[in-house]
Amino acid sequence: MNLGQYYRYFKAVHKRNLEWGQVRHIMVQICSAVGYLHQRNIIHRDLKPENVMLNPLTLQVKIIDFGFSKVHTAHCTGYMVTRWYRPLEIVLGLPYDHKVDVFALGSIFLELIHGQELFRSDSNNDQLHQLLTICGYPEPLSKEHKALEKLQIVSRNTNQLQFYTRDLSDSTRGLLTLMLSNSPEKRPNVDQVLHSLA
């Protein structure tokens, strides 16, 4: 069973979302696996609940589908399969690194907490709108901010992520805010995420 199937099944049967201990246990394992990849300079590039297999009895997870994985080079292509887990730099067609996986991990993390996808979009433009509305605008002078200016997309003071994280502890809210930042340089690496989950 994949992780998406599991959390939906759990919600249907128990009429509630996963418990914090379950979410933490699952996220620590996923982050450990992604950390192993990153230590070897590999970017998964298609992290999503459907690419995480889970044993429902033990909650042991395994990452699958390495078809879009790539050894990180200066010239990574912008194509990643699942739009809902794409960060701003991919949507804008900018250079990227392993922090794209950290963004996807943050999306999965919040999805497990809320029991639904955060960035359901029908197009690249819709994804761009949702990223800016939910996660806010990137840091001024960043390559992401400059790309938005070239597209004549005006910065607005929006950040709905606070709404989605309002019931979480300060430390978890802070971690998710960094993981889902539209400024990749602000995102923690996977080791830092693991340290925060410990």
pLDDT on residue 184: 95
pLDDT on residue 78: 63
**Angle, helices 170-179/190-197, rounded to nearest 10 degrees:** 170
Rounded-to-integer distance, Cα 155 and Cα 146, Å:
11
Query: Among candidates 16, 41, 45, 39, which has minimal Cα distance to 104?
Result: 45
| Domain coordinates in residue numbering, the chain | 3-71+80-197
Class for the domain spanning 3-71+80-197: mainly alpha
Looking at residue 13, its amino acid is V
Blockwise average pLDDT, block size 10, the chain, 198 residues? 97 96 98 98 96 97 94 70 88 92 98 94 90 89 86 76 93 97 96 96
Query: Among candidates 121, 114, 103, 9, which has minimal Cα distance to 48?
Result: 103
Task: Please state, as a whole number, how many other Cβ atoms lie within 10 Å of the Cβ of residue 145.
Answer: 18
Alpha helices in the chain (DSSP H): 3-14, 20-39, 88-91, 99-114, 124-135, 143-150, 161-164, 170-179, 190-197
Which residues are 150's β-sheet partners? none
pLDDT, the chain, mean: 92
pLDDT on residue 54: 97
| pTM of the full structure | 0.94
**Angle, helices 170-179/99-114, rounded to nearest 10 degrees:** 140
| Contact present, 132 and 182 (Cβ < 8 Å) | yes
Give the tens place of pLDDT for each residue, 65-111: 998 898 987 666 666 668 899 999 999 989 899 999 999 999 999 99
pLDDT on residue 172: 97
Q: Which residues are catalytic?
A: 46
Query: Among candidates 33, 153, 15, which has minimal Cα distance to 104?
Result: 33
Rg of the chain over all Cα atoms, to the nearest angstrom? 16
